[in-house]
Each structure stands twice: as structure tokens, then as C-alpha cells.
Structure 1
């Protein structure tokens, strides 16, 4: 295997992660300047921002004729989000669910996984499928914004502490607005460029090991593009701002399907190909994991340390099964 392929992949991973963080910082500050409430930023802007690497990778993969990477990346990333990242957070410290909007996110996450599976039954995701998913995504965002007003005061404060406030002077300062729009623009450019290098390096690595595009999307790229969610969750866990973490993970998993994959499908002239392995194994598994979250979240309104360790163990078992049976 060429060392340049590994270096290209690692370079792309670093650039896409840094780019996503810069983009998210600029977008969040602009949202604050626009007087959007911190909890709304946390449940929408952050979820969308941490999902943008998946969009960049999806569009890049489609442009290079590797549609399976796009679908595999979404299915793989959602499994990483729920089984590994959420599980790791609960394994470190039991995850108490205070968010009232958790019900909307939980039901929507299950719906999104099932809708994706049903739309993929014909072996592709076309323009109509993409439009439907985007429509459902917009409905979800509207519901979550409306419901955020009902969150208890201590949850509102947690999001308030997460996002820095701005003074009245800053809101009128042209330089502040210009700087944050520059951050947003630079973040977008870096994310797109990083995605190109990430896909290029990952594809070369996959070819060396004889891995399919779908498999590389499910594993290496999925784990790589989940870096923003992992970083956000670990920091939130250490700071004990768990509602920010859980809101981001579930929201990102929903956005990945409805918005990210929906947009990717719309921009793909002949539709995104969905391989049989992904259709009959990975997508049903992702739907099953989303459904299993219902009783787990419902019991005692928390994810225990034991449940968290189990989730992480299941994800490791999934990776092992991919390597044993599909490489």
C-alpha cells in the first residue's frame, strides 16, 4: 500500500475536521448575532454543522462515481453516533435524559432509518426520494424549534452556557459580522477540500485491501467524518453538559439521512446506487439500532453505564463482522 494514500487520507481527515469546527464556530456566532436562542442553535445549527463533512464526502464521492460511499458513509456514521459515541459517553458516565424534545428526536430518528430503508428497496435513491427526505427534514427542524421553547430552565441554561453571548455593541460591529462570515466561508472551503482528499486516500486504501466502496464508506470514512460529533460529545461529557451531547448526536443522525443524503440524492442525475450488502444488512441494522434506542431511553429516562458498554461492544462486533465476512 502506498504511504501517500495513507498520508492523503490522514491529511483529508485533519482538514475536514478543522474545517467543520471553523465552519461551526462561524455559523454558531452568526446565529447568536441574529438573536437565535442558544437551545435552538444547539439542536439545529450544531447538528447540521457537524453533519456537513458527510455532505462534502457524499457529493465528492458522487462526483468520482463512488455512490456506494455516500450511502455507506451515512449508514456507518449513524451507527458510529449511536452505538460508539453515545455508548462511550454513557460508559464514562451514565447519561441522564433531561431533554423533553428527546421524544421528538427519538421517534424521528426511527422514522428516518425506516424511510431510508424503504426508499432504498429499489436499489437507488433518486431525485424524488431526495426531495421527500428534505421535506421531512424541514418538518423535523420546525418541530424541534417549536418544542425547544418548552424545555425546562436548567436545560435552557446548559445550552446558554455552551454558546457565548454577544453584547449589543458586537451586534452592530461590522468587523464582528465580517470575521464570522469569513470563518463560515473558510470552513466550507476547508471541509470540501478535506472531503476530496479523504475520499481520494480512502479509495486508494480500499483498492489495496480489496474493499468495496460501500465498505470503505461504512468504516474508515464513517469513523473519520464522525470526529466532530465525537469531539463535541466527549467535551460535553467531561463538562457534564450531557443534554448538548445527546441533542447533537440524535439531531445529527436525523440530519444525516433527511438533509445530507436528501441533498446528495437531488444532485445525483442518475440516482445514488445502493448496494445489496448495504440494503439487506447495514440499513436494516441501522433501523434496528434506532428502534432499540426506544426501550433503552424509556427505561428510567437514562442510558446506564452497562447499556453504554453494551453499545460500544456491539459496535466493535459490527466492525469485526465487516472485516471477517465482507473484506
Structure 2
């Protein structure tokens, strides 16, 4: 299906590709609108904090583009793209998206939930960095083995189960139930169908948008290596970007934070786990990842961890600007080190 879309888009002139990009960005934003509205509404129905909904259901939906790209890349023998897409997406999510969201509106932090989910987020990044080290593969470069991929998937299932259990036992549940919207809610089956439609719209739009952006970039002379390291990661993170910005504009900043925290965890456990699990030889870690990709991921996760634990219980605009700045430096270094 991806090849068919790519071949079809390749026949379009640049002007038409730009129109396709604009159109898919619009449908992406509408899908995110539906996704946020129904996720928040479901959190009230189920008595689950919005941040937990963001960190599980919404994150699973918006992380599917990364998973599909990385799994297909791994199957096709391109571990650089599979691993780079996942790590790059973590950097985009935590640097660019949280940074922009903090600059646009308020990003309140539920301290208890961030203490739990945020700790998993940071430890997942550390786990990825550790298992990527060459010392575990007896070679010059590291390798994330197939069995480690299955371990990641097992950890993913455990994470989702424990997250829901935490939410059910949390006092925050009572507070969230008081959050009403002044309007009659649809039956839960209708909300679930709308949520599913929003996820399909977001992912479907991404499937068209990503190759359209790639083809346009190649035609105007951007090297393919740079596209793999930055543009693909940015493209697959567009659902998180639009969902987070939409959530902040609607006054649900905690959903945006929960979505990104969950997306970072899923990029390690779900995206990399799935990509490694489907390849007998595992995912080889390129040498250059130790110079830029992995260190930047750890730095930006550590910075977010510190900012989410400040006494103001929110990510401030200054902190958002710093996260955004780290991402921009990373982006520039990707272009200058090629």
C-alpha cells in the first residue's frame, strides 16, 4: 500500500504535491480534533485521569505511524531508518512538540502521574541506550536483538496494565470525574467509534503526508540521509504534534503532556520492540548514533524529567523554549554532520 501511494505521488508535479501536503495537514488536524474530544470525554465516562488516557489510548493511536514505518524498514533491511525514526521521534516529541506546546499555552503537570509515567519514560530511554551499547553484541557497533525486541513488547503490555491499575487506584480519578463539559455526552459506543475514526483519519493522513513531504524534499535537493534522520521522524510525529497543539488550545494541556510521555515510552517499547521482534538478525545500531542521536535523546529526556518536577506543577514557557532550542541544535547538527 505504501509503495502504491509513493509511486502515485511521484507522478505529481511539485505544485500538486504542495496541495496534497496542505490537504493532508487539514485532515490530520480534524482527526486530532476528534481524537482529543473523544479521549477527554471517555476519560470522564471511565473515571480515568485525562493524562492516563493520553499516555495509553491516544499515544497508541498516534504512535502507529512510527511503528509501521520502523517495522517496514526493519523488514526491508534498513535498521538505520527503523532505529533513527524511533529515536528521532522521541527527540521531536519531547523537544519540538512539548517546547511548542509550552510556548502556545499552559502545560499543567499532574505530579503523581508524571512521577510514575515520567519515570518509566526516562528509564525506557536509558534502557534503549544501554542495550544499544557494543559491549552487549561483541562487535564494533551495538545490536538490539530479536529476543530483546520481544522483551520490549512484554514490557509494553506490563506498562499499559500497570498504568490503568495506577489510574484506578488514584485519588485523581475523583477529581477528573468533576470535569464536565456542560453538555450531554454521547453513548460510550458512539464515543469509541468517533475515537476510532479520529485515529484512522490521523494515521491515514500521515500515510499520505509522509511520502508527499519526502518526494518534495528530494526534488528540491535535500539529501536522502538527512530525510531519514530528521524528516521521517518529524513526519511520523505529526499526529503527536497536532494532537498536542489541539489539546493545549482546548485547555487540556495535561492530555498533551500525557500523550508525549506515553509516545516516548511507546517509541521504545512498541516501535523499536516491534521492529526488532520481526527481524531475525535484530537491529544494528550505526556508529554515528552514539555521537548524536542517543546522547541527544538522553539529554532531552533528562531535561523534560527535571522540568516536569518543578514546584510550579507545569512546564513553563522558558522551559519550553529550552526544549525547543535543544531540538533546533540537534536539527542543525544533523545537517552539518552528514
Query: Scaled by the length of structure 2, what TM-score is found?
Result: 0.76
- Structure-2 residue corresponding to 1:232: 243
- Deviation digits for residues 78-119 of structure 1 (CA, Å, limit 9, x no counterpart): 111111111112223343313521111111111111111112
> Alignment partner for residue 265 of structure 1, among 266, 276, 281?
276
The whole-number CA distance in structure 1 between the counterparts of 2:295 and 2:61 is 26
Q: Over residues 241-273 of structure 1, what are the superposed CA-to-partner deviations in whole Å (9 max), with x where a residue is unaligned?
A: 111111111111111111121112111232223
Q: d(CA) in 1 for partners of 2:321 and 2:85? A: 24
- Alignment correspondent of 1:242: 253
1:26 deviation in Å? 8.4
Paired residue for 1:106, among 97, 110, 118?
118
More deviation, 276-285/42-51: 276-285
TM-fit CA distance, 1:59: 2.1
**Residue 293 of structure 2 is aligned to residue 297 of structure 1:** no
Counterpart for residue 186 of structure 2 = 166
Structure 1 match to 2:160: 141
Residue among 143, 150, 156 paired with 1:131: 150
The answer as to 2:321 corresponding to 1:309 is: yes
How far the C-alpha of 1:25 sits from its partner, in A, is 5.8
Bigger helix fraction? 1
Match of 1:243, SS state, is: helix
Select 2:128's aligned residue among 80, 99, 116. 116
Counterparts of 1:127 and 1:21, CA distance in 2: 38
Q: How many residues align?
A: 313
Distance (Å, rounded) in 2 between the aligned partners of 1:278 and 1:151: 42
Partners of 1:222 and 1:164 in 2: how far apart? 39
How far has the Cα of 1:181 moved from its partner?
10
Unmatched runs of 5 consecutive residues or more in structure 1:
none
| RMSD (Å), alpha carbons | 3.9
Distance 1:298 1:218 in 2: 30
Question: Normalising by the residue count of structure 1, what TM-score does the alignment of the two structures yield?
Answer: 0.79
Q: Which residue of structure 2 aligns with residue 91 of structure 1?
A: 103
* 2:204 is equivalent to residue 190 of structure 1: yes
Q: Distance in 2 between matches of 1:24 and 1:132?
A: 34
